[in-house]
Structure formats: C-alpha cells, structure tokens
A and B are shown apart, each in its own frame.
Chain A
Amino acid sequence: MEFFFEVLIGGLLAGVMYSLVAIGFVLIYKASGVFNFAQGAMVLFAALTFVSLLERGVPFWLAFLITLTTMVALALLIERAVLRPLVNLSPITLFMATLGLSYMIEGFAQALWGAQVHGLELGISDEPLEVGGMLLSQFDLFAAGTAAALVALLALLFNKTRIGLSLRAVADDPLAALAVGIRLQRIWAVVWAVAGFVGLVAGLLWGARLGVQFSLSLVVLKALPVLIIGGFTSIGGAIAGGLIVGAAEKLAEVYLGPFVGGGIENWFPYVLAMLFLLVRPAGLFGERAIERV
C-alpha cells in the first residue's frame, strides 16, 4: 500500500510538470483559438537561450531577464507574423501552421545555440525526502510549488485586472468583444507575452529535470492528452488534467505494464484521453457548443 501511494504521489508530481506546459497552451488557445504545437519548441528555445547565456558567464538574474525579453519578443512576432494573417481560418489550418512554426523555432534555436546537450542546475537539491516511509522528491515539490504560484499569478491577472476581463470577453466571443471596443490586438499581444513567460518557466524546470536538449520540444506530446482531458480553455482544467494523466500513466505502468510487457507510457495517456472524449467530447472542463444551423 505504501508503494501504491509512492507511485501515486510520484505520478501526481510528474503531472504537475505536464500541467506547467499545458498552461501555456491554454492561454494561447483562449486568446487565439489555436492549439499551439510550437509551444514545445518555445520551451526548448527558452531553456536553450537561458542555459547558453549562463554558460557564457551571464549572471542568473540577467540571463533570466534577457531570456524573458527574447521570449516575449518571439511570442509577439509569432502572433503578428503568423497568427494574425490566419485569423478566422479553421482550427485545423491554424494547428498545421503552428507545426510549421515549431519547425522554424527548432531550426532557429539550434542554428543559434548549437546542438550540444547542456546541464542546468537551478540550485535545488534533489536528495529524496523521507516522509512517513515514503520518498518524496524535493525538486518535484519545488516544481509543484512553482506551478501553484504561477496559477495564482495568472488567476490574479485574469480575474482582477482589466486585461483579464477583456480576455474573457475575447475568449467568449471575439466579434462581440470587438464591438464593445476591446482592442483585440493588445489582448492577443499580452496573452502571447504571458505564454512566452510560462514557456520560460516550464523550460527552466523541464531543462533542470532532463538536461537542456532537443527532446525538450517533445514535452508537447505529453501536454496534448492533458489538454484534451482538462479542456483547452481552463487553467484549472490543465492542472487537473495534468494530475490525472501523471497519476494514471504511472499507476498503469506499474500495475498494468507487467501484463503487456511495460513501456506503455507513450500511448496510455492518449487512450485515456480518447476514453474521456467518448464520454465528454469537450473535455472535463470544456463547454460543449450548441450547433446552430
């Protein structure tokens, strides 16, 4: 039983890491109505830029600032050069455009910083903590704390500020929002910038966890089922989805894996997401639209 809880908690903490990436997707989906596949590439780019600066002797805080500025600039550029010309096209077209975008960013990141593997130390020790006979990872707890802080920050931003109210209006009905004088473009810009920031935070935590290298951009594949389960439009959903996916895949690997030979973590979240969809086609927290004809 102790082992079961250890797996469960390990899974939940891993799930927080998925949520962290998923939040970036939710933000952009809310603002621009697109599943931004390039978010993974942005995470890679952020981590790579940050670690390359550190290795060139730039102090931590300055590297963070420079990277943040770069990410915001990149996000604004994407919003203006790619998404704005594609506005009003089908979600599938938008999605395919972000696939192209992800190729561009990956190519650019590697052209700029090279393809080496970097280690990234955030100064958080990862000696396991023993709590009630169970091992807990300090790093994962730190990551969970960061995610919580991030969510609180975003909640403040979106619930208490004018920008947040406008954003909610835009997400509900862009045309109506436009009609009441909300400046869509500014909202988009702000959200993309915030998404760039979230990408940086996710990039640092994931980079510290895996090492900074090309496969960071693959975290997007873990975030997708999280979003499907949690719904594309809800930050709370992204958190819940992450926890569900993290816990479920770990438990499945440990308790189901032996029957089929293990290694099922790659497809299990997708099958899980599919089952969820069959029951709730708009995700756990998503709203189902009424079809009007």
Chain B
Amino acid sequence: MLYQEAGQFSTRYADDRRLFRLRQDRLGLALLLAFAFGAVPFLGNDYWFSAILIPFLVLSLAGLGLNLLTGYAGQLSLGSAAFMAVGAFAAYNFELRVAGLPLLASFLLGGVVAALVALLFGLPSLRIKGFYLIVSTLAAQFFVQWALTKFSWFSNDNPSGVITAPKLEILGADFGSPAGRYLLTLGVVAALFWLGHNLVRSELGRNWMAVRDMDTAAAVIGIPLLKTKLLAFALSGFFLGIAGALWAFTYLGTVEPHGFDLNRSFQVLFIVIIGGLGSILGNFLGAAFIVLFPLLLSNLAGLLPAGLIDAGQLENLQKIVFGALIIAFLIKEPEGLARLWRRLRERARLWPLRY
C-alpha cells in the first residue's frame, strides 16, 4: 500500500496548489532532492558527472524551455539551439565585461538576453500560425549562428570563435571540480524547474494551453493572444538561454557557435517528443533517454564479440532506432515517456490490488 491515498483530502484550495498533492509524492521528491544534493556528489565519479549527469540536467532544462513553447503554448520551434547560444554567449560577455558580476547573475542576464532575442523572433507568431512558424524559428537558428561567428566581439576576438568558461565561483566557493559543476548545475536546474512548474500551473500556463488547444476560443474568452504568445517565446528563451550558459560553462567548459547548430535544436525537440509534450516530468525522462540510449547501445554492442559490428554501423543503427522511436512514440504514445510513467504510477497506487 505504497500509495495510500485514502484520508488525504484537500481541505483548502492552497493544498491543491502545492507542488504535489499527495504526501507520498512530496516525500518522494524530498528524498530524491536530498539524494541528488547530498549523496550523489560522494557516490559519482568523473565519468558520471561529466559525461552523464551534467548533460542530462542541462538537456532537461533545455527540454523544459522548449516544452513551455511547444508543449504548452503549442508553437513549434526549430530554433532552440539559437536561444541556447545567445544565452551562453551573453552570459560569457557579461561575466567578461562586467567586473565582479556574480556567476549566477550572469546566468540570469544571459537568460534575459536570450528571452529578448526569442521575443523578437516570436513576433511573427502573431500573424503566422501553426506550421508556418518554423520559418521564423529557423531564421533565428541560422541568423544567430551567423552573427555569433561573424562578429568576433561576441567571443572576445578569439581567433577560433570559441568561448571558454570563467572560473566557476560563487561566494568564494569553487565549483570547478566535476562534482562541483554537477552541484551548481543541479541547483540552477532545480530552481528553474520549480519556476517552470509554477508557471504552467498559473494563469499564464492555462492561457498557453488554451492558445495551444484552440486559439480562436482563447481570444473569445478574453485571453490576450499577443501577450500570451510573446511571453511563451520569451520565457522559453529564458530557460533555453540559461541551459545554453550551463552547457558552455558547467558541461563543456568551452563552446563555439557551431555547437548550437540545427542538430542541437532537433535534439531538444526529440527530448520533448519522447519525454512528453506538455509535461514537466517528461523533460527529465526525455533527456535521460537521449543521454543514456546511445551509451546503452554502444555498451551493449561492446558485449558482442569484437568485430561483429563496428562503431560506424552502430551509429547508423542508433540513428535508425532513434528515428523509429520518434515515429513510434508519435503514433502510439504522443504523450511520451511521461504518460508511460503515469501509467506505472497508477498501477503502483492500486498495488497490491489490481483495480
């Protein structure tokens, strides 16, 4: 009787507003956070931090950013990587050019600049609807990459156009080690997920979904389409921008504009599709899938006798499986892994009874 729900009544509306209504869920989250913050830094090794956990967290955040725009507000975007790039380069320049600016403040400002750029490219959404909108976001994708490569000011005139992370220091504490970078990433990502969760449950979140589900009806009941859509672009850009800054600073430590190309945008989109459009949890599931699946496949192949399948074919295979999974999810489970997870949980709530 793990999920004993009986007796947990909401007696005040405030109870319903909490992060999770059920005590078990709240306890689970608290335990998970305690584990992630308290235990993982001592359990993990360099490989886990640098190659799995940090990219997983950053990609989850990027997924959240796109999910706000596509999953909640229903505006398809292929420009996620552009907004990540803006966030990364803006944070870098704030850190570089404003002496004594705290690291977290540059992340925040990086996010704000990305939000403004996203807002700009979101403007056509007022007139261009649905599928046609990908033109605007693709324009963002190509334009931003071009501008960041073209004007070397953005990369402090580095001949290779590469930016390098500053010292990761907050209030004198050094977060430069793999475990430190993990903790820093985790902290930022956790805070932003709290924010994102609040957003989608607020009036704005409802307005986004209303615009997504039927924008004519949304306009008729007085939802301001202009403001709602633009806020979706801006907030999506904000989350993506901070994800980009984390990508550059805590994950890779260095990044060039090419690192945020169209393939990165597709990757973020796949996270959202596989994880679940319009789901907060789905972003974690999708990101975990994207990070772990290739490793799983290549490690499984490592178990086979050497020479049976070479690394190149494996990658081709991975591409095929990936594409097939995208299609399978869209056909069979458009709500993604998050929905599978919910089913599992519903079963757990009934356990040990069947019904």
Contact = CB atoms under 8 A, between A and B. Distances in A.
Asked if the two chains touch in their complex, CB atoms less than 8 Å apart, one says yes
Interface of A: 35, 82, 85-86, 89, 91-93, 95-97, 99-108, 110-111, 115, 221, 224-225, 228, 260-261, 263-264, 266-267, 270-271, 273-274, 277-278, 281, 291, 293
B312 interface: yes
A92 B130 contact: yes
Contact of B323 (A95, A104, A263): A104
Given A97-B327, A281-B129, 17 more contacts: A92-B130, A92-B131, A100-B322, A103-B319, A104-B323, A107-B318, A107-B322, A108-B316, A111-B320, A261-B151, A267-B139, A267-B143, A271-B139, A273-B135, A277-B124, A277-B132, A278-B128
22 contacts: A89-B330, A91-B131, A92-B76, A92-B130, A93-B334, A95-B76, A96-B269, A97-B327, A100-B325, A107-B316, A107-B317, A224-B135, A228-B132, A267-B143, A270-B139, A270-B142, A274-B128, A274-B135, A281-B127, A281-B128, A291-B216, A293-B217
A35 B132 CA distance: 10
Contact of B324 (A100, A111, A273): A100
A104 B217 contact: no
A57 B139 CA distance: 43
A108 B318 CA distance: 10
Please provide the 7 A-B residue pairs with the shortest distance between their CB atoms, ordered closest to farther: A100-B326, A107-B319, A103-B323, A104-B323, A270-B139, A267-B142, A111-B316
Contacts, number: 123
Contacts of A96: 269, 273, 326, 330
Contact of A82 (B74, B135, B322, B327): B327
Contacts of A224: 134-135, 138
A291 B219 CA distance: 13
Contacts of A86: 330-331
B313 A111 contact: yes
B266 interface: yes
A277 B143 CA distance: 18
A260 B216 contact: no
A80 to B, nearest CB: 13
A100 B136 CA distance: 21
A261 B135 contact: no
